[in-house]
């Protein structure tokens, strides 16, 4: 694809954005991270005056040590898997764009919460003379709790900038054929190497049910993702299902819940399952610990024989090709 850039390519940048991660697997670092994350009204819609006391008086003291322990179990030499993988994605995307277009387009990454922040990366790009920036939130399925939170952080920073850069913002890409093809291929490759399980589960990160009732299209995007991927794989309705994980708090979230589903499946004769998490562009706590460890234990304790997690697209060739396609579409004719 020819970008047809009208000026020097050094003035163009691409910013990949994911959710975030603590700086270290410690209670202190996790507490700092969770405070920023859970203070966002896009994430928790309880009135701030009420939520402040719940968050700081109950949630953070109780959850921080537990979450830190979970992070410690997956922490790598390079640090948080999410940050390490997202950095690898940005490097690979930069190389792919340069090879494909012949242009030296600057590519970097940021986190909505924690470091590196969106504000710091935008500042760095502008300091480099980059005044046209394509922002790519790494959320295939749109939700106000994720993609819109990226937009909020971006706009909050730009409100402080006198000389604004031009911005293009990707809302979602669940419907892109290249995304479905990459997902289907990753599943097919895994099953070719490890065999097929009794059931394939598409486990998406959950959101409160009230969010969908208020107009959030996330459920529809998840459903389309699962259905289109299953169709690409040629699966019958009995061979796969869609669930939602990572619920928080007492209110009802999108159902069926992943953990409750896994607990019930062995009684229905399902002894082996493979789980893929299409909402995650990079492996992280929710995939490497929650699915691969916690939910695997739930399934086995209920009588299941094995739960195999199919890795996220991460920095695979197909994923980088997809991200390159998305980036070039945003940069086209700029």
Annotated binding-site residues for Fe(2+) read 205, 286
Q: With contact defined as beta carbons under 8 Å apart, do 134 and 327 qualify?
A: yes
Q: 178 exposed, middle or buried (CB, 10 Å; 0-12, 13-18, 19+)?
A: middle
Other beta carbons less than 10 A from residue 333's beta carbon: 8
Handedness of CA 232, 86, 144, 168 (dihedral sign): negative
Coil vs helix vs strand at 60: helix
Q: Is 249 left (phi over 0), alpha (psi -120 to 50) or beta?
A: left
Binding residues are 205, 286
Tell the residue number behind the tokens 């980059």, with chain if given.
130
How far apart are alpha carbons 82 and 70 in whole angstroms? 14
Q: With contact defined as beta carbons under 8 Å apart, do 8 and 128 qualify?
A: no
């Amino acid at each position: 694809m020819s970008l047809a850039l009208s000026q020097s390519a050094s003035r163009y940048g691409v910013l990949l954005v994911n959710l975030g991660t603590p700086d270290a697997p410690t209670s202190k670092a996790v507490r700092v991270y969770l405070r920023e994350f859970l203070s966002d009204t896009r994430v928790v819609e309880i009135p701030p005056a009420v939520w402040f006391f719940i968050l700081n008086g109950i949630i953070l003291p109780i959850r921080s040590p537990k979450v830190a322990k979970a992070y410690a179990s997956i922490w790598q030499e390079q640090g948080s898997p999410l940050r390490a993988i997202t950095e690898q994605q940005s490097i690979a995307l930069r190389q792919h764009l340069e090879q494909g277009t012949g242009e030296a387009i600057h590519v970097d990454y940021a986190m909505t919460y924690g470091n590196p922040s969106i504000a710091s990366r935008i500042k760095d790009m502008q300091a480099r003379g980059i005044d046209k920036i394509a922002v790519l939130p790494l959320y295939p399925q749109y939700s106000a709790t994720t993609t819109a939170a990226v937009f909020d952080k971006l706009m909050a920073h730009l409100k402080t900038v006198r000389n604004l850069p031009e911005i293009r913002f990707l809302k979602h890409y669940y419907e892109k054929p290249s995304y479905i093809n990459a997902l289907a291929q990753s599943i097919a490759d895994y099953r070719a190497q490890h065999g097929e399980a009794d059931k394939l589960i598409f486990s998406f990160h959950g959101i409160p049910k009230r969010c969908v009732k208020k107009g959030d299209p996330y459920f529809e995007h998840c459903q389309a993702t699962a259905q289109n991927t299953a169709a690409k794989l040629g699966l019958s309705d009995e061979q796969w299902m869609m669930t939602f994980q990572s619920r928080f708090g007492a209110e009802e979230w999108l159902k069926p819940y992943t953990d409750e589903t896994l607990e019930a499946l062995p009684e229905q004769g399902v002894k082996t399952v493979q789980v893929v998490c299409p909402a995650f562009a990079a492996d992280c706590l929710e995939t490497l610990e929650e699915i691969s460890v916690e939910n695997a234990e739930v399934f086995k304790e209920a009588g299941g024989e094995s739960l195999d997690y199919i890795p996220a697209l991460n920095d695979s060739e197909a994923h980088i090709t997809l991200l390159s396609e998305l980036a070039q579409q945003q940069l086209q004719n700029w």
